[in-house]
A and B are shown apart, each in its own frame.
Chain A
Amino acid sequence: MSDNVKRRDFLGYSFAAVAAVGGAASLVAMKQTWDPLPSVLAAGFTEVDLSNAKPGTPSTVTWRGKPIFILKKTDAMEQSGRDLVIGSDRYTVAIGLCTHLGCIPAWKDEMWKCACHGGEFNSSGVNTFGPPPRPLDIPPFSVKGTVIVLGEEGPEYKQMAQA
């Protein structure tokens, strides 16, 4: 310690060091109390049987409190790399929240239209008009026969997520 550091400065610096460590530690604690609780993170895996889906009519299931759109495509609908293919059937599986600000778009005239700010998504869940910055998100899922398990990351999901 150099001579020009006085005793009172030393006391001040020591207190600043203690306060900085304590302050940083409490910020970590405060940040983490606002994180989702373990029970929320663990909240479930949802199984959906796709065999009963009607072509051309989307259905909505709930997963982690969010709506999931499931649409069995008709032959007239465009094919997309985002389709889940099981046998000869093609499905759109997407989180039903507009990627703009999270409203639920409604199925109308062969597309999903968002009432909040006018965004539109086609039958593959790709944004075609308005403010949404990207297609509808695809939830993680795995495939077991004609049943999909939402929440698990299967190979089909990883392939679709890249498309």
Chain B
Amino acid sequence: MAQFTKANSVGEWFDQRLATNKFMKVMMTEYWIPKNVNFLWAMGVVLAVTFGILVISGIFLMMYYKPDVNLAFNSVNYTIMQEVAYGWLFRHMHGVAASVVFLVIYIHMLTGIYYGSYKKGREMIWISGMLLFVTFSAAGFSGYMLPWGQMSYWAAMVITNLFGGIPFIGDALVVWIRGDFNVADATLTRFFMLHVFLLPMVILGVIALHFYSLRVPHVNNQEGEEIDFDTEAEKYLAGNKKESKVIPFWPVFLSKDFAVLGIFFIFYFYLVFYHYSFAMDPINFEPANSMVTPPHIYPEWYFLWSYEVLRGFFFDIAGIKAFDLGLMAFGVANIIFFLLPFIDRDPEVLPAHKRPRFNIWFWILMVDLIVLTVYGKLPPTGVNAWVGFFSSITFLGLFIALPFVTKADAKARGAL
């Protein structure tokens, strides 16, 4: 056993046993962040806090929620909303946070794309971040099923049927996932398990990986400048704080993050108290009915763009069924962002405004995502179907064009 002397303070007592001083240095006071960043670099902490809100509000909801097809609807809409003191608050906090978390994820992702923060050593940050996007999507979908209203039921029907498109095993796989021939009690209970246990556990693990993946390459900055973090950290520790290009994560960087967090909280609670209805679809206040499909069904706003890619292909092309085309395009749309670090052929890290062709590419992508989102909510008839088709083609085309666009930029700059 190691030699222990009598501790002179509580802090020292813990430091002897857990090396808390060393731990604080590594994780906080000597974890270096560049100075040249803006408020968009605060989104990671905003997301971590929003996940915290989801966990805490979820714990309170779980104490009254009943995952049973006969009880689920009333346990949410009567027990939680009307009987439990402040039950409405926890439900609206949970629903609004689930929606807002995707808004911040998209800002966080698009910031990464704009500043090129996914390459040259930062690939694992991007890939672990995309894994978080996928697990959050799964958590969002499984949670949406729980109130067991009409939208819950039919969203579950459509999404589980997507697996039917997998060759050979599709039909059997759909029955296996549901545990029934239809979306039924077995489906609700297993998605409840996924939503309250398995997915949050996976998310926590991937968050740890995501934070750790930042450790070696460090956070990017506004100019894509390569900083020698050891040299700059020495300057800071020697007292040349003005000259150094870096600041410690705690307390300097986090103090600014908390300011952004304050503004975010005001926005978030404004939505929770005055505009919660945007996250509460009126159709979902009708109990699930397996015999009636609502006249028009659509996913929550954050899935609309990929939903529109799914249904954008409404006619057969070259002998391939419209159903399979849509499914393939949907599959590509959901994994293509994972490949971003490898299809960007520009060897340098630079913000989009210093890569003229990539800059145009980026803004076309932004506009296309907005068009897909807007038309994803409209009925797929007449001219809407064609807008959906062409914006889906544009989306796929952008990713085919990306290697050439980025290479052309690098050549023009003389970097290739």
Contacts and interface: CB of A to CB of B under 8 A. Distances in A.
Do A and B come from the same complex? yes
Interface of A: 31, 34-37, 40, 60, 62, 64-67, 100-104, 106, 114-118, 130-133
B317 interface: no
Contact of A116 (B158, B322, B324): B158
B186 A36 contact: yes
Contact of B157 (A60, A101, A131): A101
Contacts of B184: 40, 65
B277 interface: no
Interface residues of B, number: 36
Contact of B311 (A66, A104, A117): A117
Contact of A36 (B181, B290, B380): B181
B181 A131 contact: no
Interface stretch (B291-299, B347-355, B401-409): B291-299
Contact of B179 (A37, A67, A102): A37
Given A65-B290, A103-B154, A133 B161 contact: no
8 contacts: A36-B186, A40-B181, A64-B182, A66-B181, A100-B323, A130-B314, A131-B311, A133-B324
Contacts of B260: none
Contact of A66 (B154, B176, B182, B381): B182
Contacts of A36: 175, 178-181, 186
Contacts of A130: 314, 322
B176 A35 contact: yes
B297 A116 contact: yes
Looking at chain A's contact residues, the main secondary structure is loop
Given A36-B181, A101-B161, A133-B323, A62 B291 contact: yes
Contacts of B178: 36
Contacts, number: 85
Interface string B373-395: 00000001100010000000000
Contacts of B180: 36, 40, 65
Contact of A60 (B179, B291, B323): B291
B162 interface: yes
Given A118-B381, A131-B322, A131-B326, A102 B158 contact: yes
B40 to A, nearest CB: 37
Contacts of A35: 176, 179
Given A37-B179, A130-B322, A133-B321, A102 B186 contact: no
A53 B181 CA distance: 27
Interface string B318-362: 000111101000000000000000000000000000000000000
A126 to B, nearest CB: 15
A34 B190 CA distance: 9
B177 interface: yes
B67 to A, nearest CB: 16
Contacts of A104: 291-293
A39 B385 CA distance: 43
A131 B314 contact: yes
Contacts of A106: 293
Contacts of B157: 101-103
Contacts of B186: 36-37, 40
